[in-house]
């Protein structure tokens, strides 16, 4: 073999060695990368992951809602639902409409006055009066005349009522000229200014099946025409 041929052969062998050496290095590099990748996977698998142990980000923080236990408070009911308006009007009401001349005349025909207790009239006994109104707080109870504030009662010798006089405020709202318009001209007028200045009385004669003759009297102020009191009395034989 000549020298040139040997030299070519040597060059070819050297090239093969270099190629082999390069392939070997590439193989080692690939194996190294695989080992590194394998170690990384092993480390990742070796680290346990606990659900819920991670810290939520600021955007995902959910604050717990606390519901305060507040005692229920019942709302007050309106006056319209709970408290129905009750009538406080009694038998002794001072309603002007109730104490009109017509109403007074109607009661007088039954021997009584509209502001007096029902059942109390001319001819009633002293005992009936006590049952309806009780006994007066002051004075004797067996005297001929008893006073109950706004009205007075007079008895005859048999303890029967023969006179009822009332000065209830409702009468004082009426005027004599209005009474005359409703009841007509009185049977008699008396000037009582000698006893009480600027006063007079207008009298209407009455009768019914129980009392043959009795009188309804209005005492009034002659200047203002306002009623002072009303009296109902029986003529004693």
Fold of 101-234: Double Stranded RNA Binding Domain (3.30.160)
Q: Helix, strand or coil for residue 54?
A: coil
The pLDDT tens digits for 23-47 are 666 767 776 677 766 655 555 554 4
Q: CA-CA distances (angstroms) from residue 45 to 34, 36, 38, 39, 48?
A: 16, 14, 11, 10, 7
Best CA proximity match to 213, nearest among 188, 183, 190, 237: 237
Give the percent of the chain with pLDDT over 90: 52
Q: CA-CA distances (angstroms) from residue 4 to 7, 8, 119?
A: 5, 6, 168
- Alpha-carbon distance of 62 to 4, in angstroms, equals 86
Judge contact between 94 and 170, C-beta under 8 A: yes
The pLDDT tens digits for 72-110 are 444 545 444 443 443 333 344 444 445 899 999 999 999
Residue 52 backbone class (left: φ over 0; alpha: ψ -120 to 50; beta: rest): left
User: Does the pLDDT at position 194 exceed 90?
Assistant: yes
- Alpha-carbon distance of 176 to 199, in angstroms, equals 11
Predicted pLDDT at 199: 98
Q: What is the DSSP letter of 227?
A: E
The pLDDT tens digits for 140-170 are 899 999 999 899 999 999 999 999 999 999 9
Q: Which of 23-37, 49-63, 87-101, 172-186 has the lowest mean pLDDT?
A: 49-63
Q: Is this prediction's pTM over 0.85? A: no
Q: Helix, strand or coil for residue 232?
A: strand
């Amino acid at each position: 073999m000549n020298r040139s041929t040997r030299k070519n052969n040597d060059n070819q062998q050297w090239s093969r060695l270099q190629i082999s050496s390069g392939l070997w290095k590439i193989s080692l590099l690939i194996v190294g990368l695989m080992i590194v990748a394998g170690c990384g996977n092993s480390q990742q698998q070796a680290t346990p992951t606990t659900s819920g142990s991670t810290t939520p980000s600021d955007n995902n923080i959910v604050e717990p809602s606390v519901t305060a236990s507040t005692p229920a408070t019942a709302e007050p009911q309106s006056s319209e639902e709970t408290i129905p308006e009750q009538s406080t009007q009694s038998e002794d009401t001072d309603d002007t409409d109730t104490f009109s001349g017509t109403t007074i005349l109607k009661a007088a025909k039954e021997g009584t006055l509209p502001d007096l207790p029902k059942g109390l009239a001319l001819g009633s006994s002293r005992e009936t009066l006590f049952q309806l109104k009780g006994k007066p707080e002051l004075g004797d109870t067996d005297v001929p005349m008893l006073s109950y504030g706004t009205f007075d009662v007079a008895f005859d010798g048999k303890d029967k009522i023969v006179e009822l006089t009332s000065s209830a405020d409702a009468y004082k709202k009426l005027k004599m000229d209005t009474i005359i318009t409703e009841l007509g001209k009185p049977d008699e007028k008396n000037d009582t200014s000698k006893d009480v200045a600027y006063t007079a009385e207008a009298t209407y004669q009455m009768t019914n099946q129980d009392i043959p003759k009795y009188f309804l009297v209005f005492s009034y102020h002659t200047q203002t025409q306002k009623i002072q009191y009303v009296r109902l009395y029986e003529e004693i034989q």
